[in-house]
Structures are given as structure tokens and as C-alpha cells.
Amino acid sequence: MTDSVNSRAPRLMSLRYAGKCEGCGAELPARTQAWYDPVRRRVRCPGCPPLTQSTSAPPEERDQGPGELASGQAGVSAHREFERRSARHQARVDAAVAADAAWREKAKEDHPVLGRIASAFTPRPDASVPQNVRAWEIGSDGEQKVGRRLDTWAAQRPGRFALHDRRVRGSKANIDHLVVGASGVWVVDAKEYLGTVRQVDVGGLLRTDWRLKVGGRDRSKLAEGVRWQMGKVGAALDNLGPGLGDVPQRRPPVWGVLCFVGADWGLLPRRFVIGGIHVAWPSAAVDLLSASGPVTASLAESVARALSEIFPPA
């Protein structure tokens, strides 16, 4: 247990990738000495106060008061996957750089003139992080941005709860955010995409076929993913039976919303529904969550506590 705690403690290290100090905002190039928090995945330059174990402990592991609900930490599993993939990529880069350096040295030794020419005109290994790796960090950033908005929303009124980065047992899937309020239970899927979000009818003259497009690419499958998550949440609520609270015979409705961060919505932005899933930007998504409904504050708390156990932090 002690080793596990120590592995989460902030440490002063040489950064593998460039970052930004969360204290003063200074840019920190790769290989700069800086404080690194392995839990929150944040860095701080040596000139700022060092990070401490008490501030870096994940929400579900901090000291909690009696009955306090562990909301989880937004984006943590996506960032964990980014670190795993980036470490694997960096290992390949390091091996390629070492092999390339050895080849150049040998070429110059064996052929002093031609070897230098060949070395000068041969490209060096690409050390940049590929898009399929960076996408996990971008996704984590989007989840964190939406998570902060949801935490603010939940703190504004009793009977509002936001759970972040929840694991779906029996699968590799995670639910970005589970929100409980007066209108019911919301599955919120955060996506940080560039491009214009549009609802496009690709059907012919005699039929309609609405598709979700972002930056001109068909992203309709994202709505299918949210529906799958809604099905898991709905089934979990059905299985709770009479243990939901003050209205045992009627469980809260389950809704879904795709929340796009950083996307363009055109001159006249409007949220829309596609395949039963709401599509909105963060402030518009919060408006949806704020709608009135049949769920009382006590029922919302019962539901939130039940869901936090059924879908534990990832």
C-alpha cells in the first residue's frame, strides 16, 4: 500500500514531452526539470510551489466525510491511455534514434566522404507524437473541460449530481459523465473536435436520412455509442427495483447528449437531436440538464449513489 501511495506522489523529473506549468502558465519544453503529478497529469515549474501529495490524491481516495459521494475525476482514464501509448511510441522513437545514430557513425567511419554525404541527405527518424496517440490527450482535455462545467452546475442547487469517468463493468467502455438532476439521468459524452457541427439529410427525394457531421465527416456513430451507454444505465436503474427512494414505482428517465468542445456551430448555432440523442455545445448542454422534471432532490441523491456503485470510477 505504501509503494502504491509513493508511486502517486508528485516528483521532480525531466519531462518527456513539452507542457505548461499549471501555476504560472509558463511553457515547459521537453527534457525540462519540472514537478510532475502522476495522478492529475499536471506539471509545475521548479520556480512555483511544489505539488503535494494531499492536493494530488484522486477524488475517490481523498478523506471523505460520512456518506460523501465520490464523483470521480474527469478524463483520467483517457489520459492514462495517452500516457501508455505515448510511452510505447517514445520507446520506439528512442530505439530508432539510437539505430540511426549508430548507422551514421558507421557510415562515416567506413566511407569518410560518401558516408558523410549519405548521412547529410538521409532524413532522421520522426520523433513527433502521431495523431492516434495525441487524440487520447485531446479527448481527456475535452472531458475535463466539460467536467468542470458540470461540477459548477451541480454545486448551484441541491439535488444535482455529476459523476465523472465511470467504468462499465464487463466491457472496456467508459461513460464520460453521468449526471442526475430534476429532469432525470443524463449520459454526457464529451468530444473535443474541430470543424462545424451540422445535422445533414443525406436521403433522397422520398426519404430522410439525418446524419451528424463534424468538419464534413460523418460522426453519426457517436450517437450510437451514447445510446448503448444509455441502455446500460437504464438497465441498471431497472434492476434496482424498489430501492430508488421516495418514488420506487417510477424510475427517472435516461437522456443522452453529445457535447462538442471547441467545435464551430456556424452563424446561427442551434442544438439538435439525432437518433434520440441531443447534440450541443457545453453551455447548451447545461441548459438541457437544468430542465425541470419529476425527480425530487432525495430521489436524485438515491439514484446518484446507486449509479456511483454500479459504475465505479475508471
- Does residue 147 share a domain with residue 27? no
Domain boundary (11, 38, 56) is at: 56
191: which strand partners?
260
Identify whether 256 is part of a domain: yes
> How far is Cα of residue 13 from the mean position of the Cα atoms in its chain?
25
Q: What does the alpha-carbon distance between residue 12 and residue 25 come to, in Å, rounded to a whole number? A: 18
Looking at the fold, whether 293 and 144 belong to one and the same domain comes out as yes
Helix axes 131-155, 76-110, angle to 10 degrees: 160
Q: Are residues 172 and 299 in the same domain?
A: yes
Q: Report yes or no on 238 lying in a domain.
A: yes
- Give the model's pLDDT for residue 46: 75
* Angle at CA of residue 272, ends 176 and 290, nearest 5°: 60
Tally of CB atoms within 10 A around 122: 11
**294 within some domain:** yes
The domain tally of the chain equals 2
Both 44 and 135 in a single domain? no
Cβ contacts of residue 112 below 8 Å, gap of 6+? none
Query: Which pLDDT score is estimated for 15?
Result: 75
Does 125 fall in a domain? Answer: no
Digit-by-digit pLDDT tens for the chain (314 residues) are: 444 444 456 777 777 667 777 777 778 887 777 877 766 667 777 777 655 443 444 444 444 444 567 788 888 888 888 888 888 888 888 888 889 889 888 888 989 888 888 888 888 888 888 888 888 888 888 899 999 999 999 999 999 999 999 999 988 889 999 999 999 999 999 999 999 999 998 888 888 889 999 999 999 999 999 999 999 999 999 887 665 544 444 678 999 999 999 899 988 899 999 999 999 999 999 999 999 998 889 889 989 999 999 999 88
pLDDT of residue 187: 97
Answer with the one of 39, 56, 73 that is the final residue of a domain. 56
Instruction: Please indicate, yes or no, whether residues 35 and 139 belong to a single structural domain of this protein.
Output: no
Within-domain flag for 303: yes
Residue 228 lies in a domain: yes
25: number of Cβ within 10 Å? 9
Q: pLDDT at position 273, please?
A: 94
What are the start-end ranges of the H helices in the chain?
Answer: 2-7, 53-56, 76-110, 114-121, 131-155, 221-240, 282-289, 297-310
155 and 48 belong to one structural domain: no
**Residues 170 and 256 reside in one and the same domain:** yes
Q: Are 163 and 72 in contact (CB under 8 A)?
A: yes
Task: Judge if 41 and 137 occupy the same domain.
Answer: no
Of 56, 72, 91, the residue that ends a domain is 56
Q: Are residues 148 and 284 in the same domain?
A: yes
Residue 8, pLDDT score: 56
List the beta bridge partners of residue 178. 163, 187
Alpha-carbon distance values, 137 to 28, 140, 259 (Å): 17, 5, 17
The contacts of residue 85 (CB under 8 Å, 6+ apart) are 132, 133, 136
Residues 179 and 298 occupy one common structural domain: yes
Domain shared by 50 and 156, yes or no: no
For residue 122, CA distances in Å to 100, 101, 115, 265 come to 10, 11, 10, 45
* Global confidence as pTM: 0.73
pLDDT at 229: 96
295 belongs to a structural domain: yes
Asked, for residue 97, whether it belongs to a domain, the answer is no
Residue 168 is predicted with a pLDDT of: 93
Predicted confidence at residue 14, as pLDDT, reads 77
Residue-range definition of the domain harbouring residue 4 = 1-56
* Pair 31, 138 in one domain: no
- DSSP character string of 95-127: HHHHHHHHHHHHHHHH-TTHHHHHHHHSPPPP-
